[in-house]
Amino acid sequence: MSYPLVCLGNPLLDLQVDVESDFLRKYDLKDNDAILAEEKHLPIYGEVLQNKSLQLLAGGAAQNTARGAQYILPENSVVYFGAVGKDVYAEKLTEANTKYGLKTQYQVLEEQSTGKCAALIYNHHRSLVTDLGAANHFKASHLQKPENWEFVSNAKYFYIGGFHFTVSPEAIQLLGKHAAETNKVFAINFSAPFIPQFFKDPLDAAIPYTDFVIANESEAAAYAESHSLDLAPTDVVGIAKHIAQLPKVNSARSRTVVFTQGTEPTVVVTTVDGELVVKEYAIRELSADQVVDTNGAGDAFASGFMASLVLGEDVSKAVSRGQWAASVSIQCVGPAFPFPKVEYSA
């Protein structure tokens, strides 16, 4: 079995509800953020189950990206790894993945429940509060099983959700080293500000293996702060240049840093013949009434971007496909794409 793209992350079921700002304040949450649930957040899950607007949706950032990339690519292109329980939540995830044709090689942990994410939608923002459950127990040894390693050794591209730095930095190292040794493409996403903030060491240990680093402006700012860069947190180009120049194990190609910035242009920095090259790409504008929610917008961008790389397209096309995929997903409820399928147009 040969699937060109392997993705790794935390499989979660999204419990998506519309909330008012007082709900966010009550639990000390920002309008737009992604965090791990602390003790004080646990009542949220009971509350959302009572909420009339509740929708159960397949989530998990890298799983969203994997589903979206498979949506775009020919069948049997993407395989996704992560850990789930043996419960109805996992069945829901499998249902959605099957619809998109995504192949999963889950580590199934019978004694754990599948992870869940309260996706609290307020205006066009989303506040994500995650209880990782089974996802937290993924082990690198699962990848090393012969039936799983076959997918790894046959793949050409790897995509790691940054949220997985909280789970198995060892699995990320394993894939990063394999990619560098075999000259395959290794991409990571920072996923949330708390990753560069509180998981700095495992993130820094993975950067040397990366060919592509994808993040948004608030994650870039968190990176600048936690690494004490002498740059304004809003200097996305400066931060991208810094990361582009960090040491790299596989010198066969230079690193490309891609920062999305909501409705502001996407910034891309890479090195060509030893010189830093900065490019900016305006996004596809949507009118306010076209925006359904932004849950999964960044994951969708990564879907389009990674799918484009797999198709052998250049970085400017990859950004264009990423921006297209984000605009399509923003018009859907949750981290999803429409059926019947819509096709990319430049």
Q: What is the dihedral of CA 10, 12, 17, 18, to 10 degrees?
A: 20
Helix (H, G, I), strand (E, B) or coil at 118: strand
Select from 85, 133, 322, 335 the one that contacts ligand 26A (CB under 6 A). 335
- Residue 196 interacts with ligand 26A (CB under 6 A): yes or no: no
d(CA 322, CA 300): 7
Smallest gap, in angstroms, from Cβ of residue 247 to ligand 26A? 27
Residue type, 185: V
Select from 26, 32, 36, 313 the one that contacts ligand 26A (CB under 6 A). 36
- Residue 260 interacts with ligand 26A (CB under 6 A): yes or no: no
- Pick between residue 9 and residue 176 the one whose CB is nearest to ligand 26A: 9
The catalytically annotated residue of 14, 131, 211, 299 is 299
- Pick between residue 254 and residue 331 the one whose CB is nearest to ligand 26A: 331
d(CA 271, CA 273): 7
Q: Which stretch binds ligand 26A (CB under 6 A): 10-18, 23-31, 325-333, 337-345?
A: 10-18
Contacts of 317 (CB under 8 A, 6+ apart): 308
Contacts of 103 (CB under 8 A, 6+ apart): 3, 70, 76, 78, 79, 80, 97
- Residue 61 interacts with ligand 26A (CB under 6 A): yes or no: yes
Select from 24, 29, 64, 67 the one that contacts ligand 26A (CB under 6 A). 64
DSSP codes of every residue in 257-281: EEEEETTEEEEEEEEETTEEEEEEE
Select from 3, 5, 10, 84 the one that contacts ligand 26A (CB under 6 A). 10
Smallest gap, in angstroms, from Cβ of residue 312 to ligand 26A? 27
Q: Which stretch binds ligand 26A (CB under 6 A): 145-153, 232-240, 269-277, 295-303?
A: 295-303
| Residue recorded with tokens 């992560």 | 82
31 flagged as catalytic: no
d(CA 235, CA 160): 25
Report the largest interatomic distance among the alpha carbons of the chain, rounded to a whole angstrom: 58
- On the question of a cis peptide bond just before residue 43, with omega within 30 degrees of 0, the verdict is no
- Chain positions 156 to 185 lying near ligand 26A, rule: CB under 6 A, are 161, 163, 166
- Pick between residue 211 and residue 299 the one whose CB is nearest to ligand 26A: 299
Within the chain, strands assigned E span 5-8, 12-18, 33-36, 55-59, 78-81, 83-84, 103-104, 107-108, 115-122, 125-131, 157-161, 185-189, 212-216, 256-261, 264-272, 275-281
- Pick between residue 180 and residue 187 the one whose CB is nearest to ligand 26A: 187
- Pick between residue 38 and residue 314 the one whose CB is nearest to ligand 26A: 38
- Residue 34 interacts with ligand 26A (CB under 6 A): yes or no: yes
Length of the chain: 346
Select from 3, 4, 6, 14 the one that contacts ligand 26A (CB under 6 A). 14
Q: Which stretch binds ligand 26A (CB under 6 A): 54-62, 228-236, 250-258, 265-273?
A: 54-62
Residue from 339, 342, 338, 291 nearest 321 by CA? 342
> Binding pattern to ligand 26A, positions 100-119, x when CB under 6 A?
-----------------x-x
Beta bridge pairs of residue 6 = 79, 158
Instruction: Give the residue numbers marked as catalytic.
Output: 299
Q: Which residues bind ligand 26A (CB under 6 A)?
A: 9-10, 12, 14, 34, 36, 59-61, 64, 117, 119, 128, 130, 132, 161, 163, 166, 295-296, 298-299, 335
